[in-house]
Amino acid sequence: MDCKHLRHGGSKMIRLRTSLRPAVVLALAAATVLGCAKRENEIVIGEYGSLTGSTATFGVSTKNGIELYVDNVNAAGGVGGAKLHVIVEDDQSKPEEAATAVNKLVDQDGVVAVLGEVASSRSMAAAPICQQAGVPMITPSSTNPKVTELGDYIFRVCFIDPFQGQMIAKFAKSTRGLTKAAVFRDNKNDYSVGLANYFSEAFHAMGGAIVADEAYSEGDQDFRAQLTVIKAKHPQFIMVPGYYTEVGLIARQARELGITVPLLGGDGWVSDRLLEIAQDALNGSYFVNHYWVEDPNPAIQKFVTEYRARYNATPDGLAALGYDAAGVLTSALERLRQEDPAGFKALCGPRSDKQKPARAKLRDMIASTKDFPGVTGRISLDASRNAVKPAVFLGIENRAYKYVAAVEP
C-alpha cells in the first residue's frame, strides 16, 4: 500500500471533496498519518483467490486457512513485533482476473510476498508478474509442474501432478486390481490436462489400458454424449481429473445412464460442495487429498478445532494448504529477521529501494525451507521449489469420506 493511495477493503480510493468540512478533512489527514505510521511496523502480504465464480469454495477455504494462521501469529505479537497485514483480492475464478489482481497487489499495494492461487491456470497467469517484479509467490495448491517452472520466485507447498497421477494409477491397478480405464478430462484446464496425462502414462506403464479418452470444458452442464461413448467402451473405472462442480454433475449423469463403475480423481474434487452436487452418485469412488481431518496428530487437531470454532465448518484440504502456505512464509520471515535484521526492517516499512534486495533474501529463506511442520505434513522444498510430502487417498461411502491410505513420495 502506498501512503499516497490509501485503500479501504482493497477496492476504492478516498477522494476529498472541496465541500467537506475542515474537521472532516483534518480527521482524514490524521487517518492518513496514522495509516503511514502503521505501515512502519507491519509486513504487507498479498493474497489472490477465487472468492466468487465457478470454484469459489477453493478461494474461500484457502482465505480462511491463511486468515487463521496470520491472526494467530499477530495475536502472539507478530514477527519480531511486526504485524502481518494481508490484502485479499478476488479473481472471480478467471485467469485474466488473477493477473489483474496480482498486478494491483504488486504495483499499487507494494506487497512483499504473494499467496495464491489454487488453480494452476490462474497461478500460471499471475506468476510471471511476481517473477518480473521480484516478489516471492507461494501457491498453496497448484499442482501442475509448469507453475514453479515460471521462475525462481515461485514456490508451492503442495505435491505435484506427476506424483498424484502415479498414485491414482497405482491405487487403481495394484490396490483395486483394475486394468481398463476411461479418462474424462477438462480440455481447457491446465491442471486437468496435466493430471490426465500423468495418470495415463503411469497406468500404461503398469500394464493398464485406456479404453476411452473424452473431453469437456469447465462450465459445461451436459456430459451425456461423452459418457455414452465411455459406456460403450466398458471401462472398469473412469478417471475424472476435474474440479468439483463438473465432477458432481458428471457423476450424477453417469448414474442416470446406467454407468455403475467407480470414479477416481485428484485434489480438484476437494470441496464441501462436491457431495451436495453429486448426492449419492459418488458412493464407491475415490480421490486424492492433502490431509485427513481425523488424523490424531495434535497439531492437526488444534487446527481443525480452531477452524471449526471460527468458521462453523470442517476445514478441507485447501484450507489446510492455505494455513501451511502462510506458515512457510512466516517461518521464512522469522529466519530473515534473525539473519538479516536490516533487510527484515526494510520489509516492515513503506515501499523503498531497500525492499527489492530484502525480497531477494526472503526468496532465499523460502527456498531453504526444510521440515516445516505443516498440518498437511512436514514440508521441505526441493531445488525446483516444489514441496516433497505425502498424499492421502480418501473413499466415499454414504455421502461421507473415509480414510484409505497415506502414500509417501
pLDDT (tens digit per residue) in 11-61: 333 333 334 444 444 444 444 444 444 466 899 999 999 999 989 999 999
What average pLDDT score do residues 224-232 get?
98
Residue 272 lies in a domain: yes
Which of 289, 316, 341 is the last residue before a domain boundary? Answer: 289
Confidence check: pLDDT of 374 > 60: yes
> How distant, in Å, are the alpha carbons of 69, 230, 315, 369 from that of 372?
14, 44, 20, 7
Instruction: Quote the domain boundaries for residue 107.
Output: 42-159+297-389
Number of domains in the chain: 2
Rounded to whole angstroms, the Cα distance separating 147 from 131 reads: 11
Same domain, 325 and 270: no
285 and 165 within one domain? yes
Q: What is the pTM of this model?
A: 0.82
In a domain, 19, yes or no: no
Of 318 and 2, more confident:
318
Residues 273 and 302 in one domain: no
Domain-embedded: residue 37: no
- Say whether both 337 and 358 belong to one domain: yes
270 and 314 in a single domain? The answer is no
Alpha-helix runs per DSSP H in 118-209: 120-133, 161-170, 190-205
Rounded to 5 degrees, φ, ψ at 68 are -65, -45
Same-domain check for residues 125 and 180 = no
Question: Rg of the chain over CA atoms, in angstroms?
Answer: 23
Asked if 202 contacts 169 with a C-beta cutoff of 8 angstroms, the reply is yes
CATH number at residue 197: 3.40.50.2300
* Separation in Å, CA 100 to CA 6, 54, 375: 19, 18, 31
Kindly state whether residues 155 and 165 are assigned to the same domain. Answer: no
Predicted pLDDT at 173: 94
Instruction: Judge contact between 275 and 263, C-beta under 8 A.
Output: no
Residue 25 lies in a domain: no
Angle at 177 between CA 175 and CA 182, to 5 degrees: 105
